[in-house]
Amino acid sequence: MSADKTVLVTLNVQGIGPEAATQPESSLHGRDAHGRYTYGGGLARVLDMLRRQGIRATLFWPAFEAERCRGLLEQSLRDGHEAASQGNAFEDLAALGDREGEILERARDRLTGLTGRAPQGFRYTGSAFTPRTVPLLHRLGYRYDSSAIDDDAPYELGADGGPGMVELPWSEGLCDATHFSRRVTQDRAYAHWVEQGDALLAADGYACLTLHPRADNGVGRAARLQKVEQLLERFRAAGAAFMTCADLAARRAAAG
């Protein structure tokens, strides 16, 4: 059991991108427009909450969304949040074949152009990685990945073709979409978060909270976000420190 407790607060910045990858944007209105909530207030509300809590988070940006949220992207950088990559435009990596490296490089370069700094981390929440993915991320200069759910605690990626890289796994139980996609109440989602977070911090001293600013499966709505604040205050009271993914990756690298 670790004496240190570290919580990563991560945000998958997803608006209409998941739907726009397979449907015309012009069709995403009405009941099919949950992602537009991100642009109209959901993301701004999450940033306001993080500012109140004094927490620096890691925001995973698909280039598609970063270009639609430039003002909020810039606000997140002013607030000290990390801008990491979530790919280009919700492509299926497994279907790209020899174009995978080109797409990953384009995503990195587009986000770098918007932020002025190359992203240090990557997260993919679509289909599985290919055998080429980690070596490609390493070649592109990434220091960590945060796509896996195959462990409770960080681990090295050298055996997967990423020497010097670290995996910072996320937990489905600490992800808003896991619960809200099943239409549970915010009280019930909070109960799940507490059980999962308390257990992870007790076992390995590490927990990764994953949020979305959307209206359907995310926490952009005010009532849901209140429960997130309650959870963060619980973690703080338990002695947990909040870090960005890049900071934790750098700390592990320095420790050897």
pLDDT-based confidence at residue 1 (cuts at 50, 70, 90): very low
* Nearest Cα to Cα of residue 94 among 145, 135, 132, 140: 132
Domain boundaries, the chain: 6-254
pLDDT digits (tens, 9 = 90+) for 198-215: 999 999 999 999 999 998
Inform me whether the pLDDT recorded for 241 exceeds 70: yes
pLDDT-based confidence at residue 3 (cuts at 50, 70, 90): low
How large a percentage of the chain has pLDDT more than 90? 78
pLDDT digits (tens, 9 = 90+) for 37-77: 888 899 999 999 999 999 999 999 999 999 999 999 999 99
pLDDT digits (tens, 9 = 90+) for 159-173: 999 999 999 999 999
* CATH superfamily, with its number, for domain 6-254: Glycoside hydrolase/deacetylase (3.20.20.370)
Q: Which pairs with CB-CB distance under 8 Å and at least 24 residues apart come from 150-154?
A: 152/200, 152/203, 152/204, 152/206, 153/204, 153/205, 153/206, 154/206, 154/248, 154/252
